[in-house]
Structure 1
Amino acid sequence: MTHPLARPAAALASGLVFGFGLSLSGMLNPARVQSFLDVFGAWDPSLAFVLGGAVLVAFVGVQAMKRMKRPAFDDRFQLPANRRIDARLLLGSALFGLGWGLGGFCPGPAVASLSLGLPKIMIFVLAMLTGMILHDRVVRKR
């Protein structure tokens, strides 16, 4: 049996490492992200190394997960059941990319950037959360 605080402590540690990595890599700077996405203009390819590192870490994590009987803090792994590429996935991916390109943030860096206290970031996160809530209330009910 695990300690009752083990799960929240592991989540906090993971979040701190993730946030530190985002800050260290420059992912909290929307201008840097937008210049990475501007492949036909002043393209900055440096974030490709960040993305490549993230893919490598995820690959190692998935390989380790495949060898485990169950996760450390749950009864079973919570994996997606749907493996199809459908219209909802494509539309969601397009909306995510559009928001990332226009705002220079995706959800993780946006939340981590709240620590900067800038009103522009707070508005972005509020809009993002509003979209998530609307999705849960409207789309998921269908």
Structure 2
Amino acid sequence: MADVVDRYFSAYNAHDLDEVMGCFCLKPVAVGPGGPVEGRSEVASYHTAIWSAFPDLHVTVLRKVVEGDVAAVTTVGTGRHTGPFPLTTGEELHGSWRYVSVRCGWFFTVQDGLIVDQQIFFDQLELYLQLGLPLSRLGPP
């Protein structure tokens, strides 16, 4: 169980999409601030979009707790925003060249040695403010 999560983060930090996707089952589900995605192509698109926005993104694992087929991982993600980043408002923020550092919570469900479900949580307000977005751009109250 822990092996596939370790492999995932190693591949994620290398921005190696083939290795990342090799950690997932054939029909994975992933949930992040942008909403749920299903299937290998959608999960892969999510990863490439993040790496396009933050080409030097690096995730440092702070803590990992494994129980049965579930792993909970806290991380801090750091990188410079140089490419298009999709906002939850539907807009796209072009490179701000700002450096960000955001703590994240990741939850993985693993079956037969592969990730079947991945959920990522982070403080979007913290990220948006680090990117220089005024509160008025974040959507209606």
TM-score normalised by length of structure 1: 0.29
The structure where helix makes up a greater share of residues is 1
The structure where strand makes up a greater share of residues is 2
Structure ID, larger Rg = 1
TM-score normalised by length of structure 2: 0.29
- RCO (CA 8 Å, sep 6+): is it higher in 1 or 2? 1
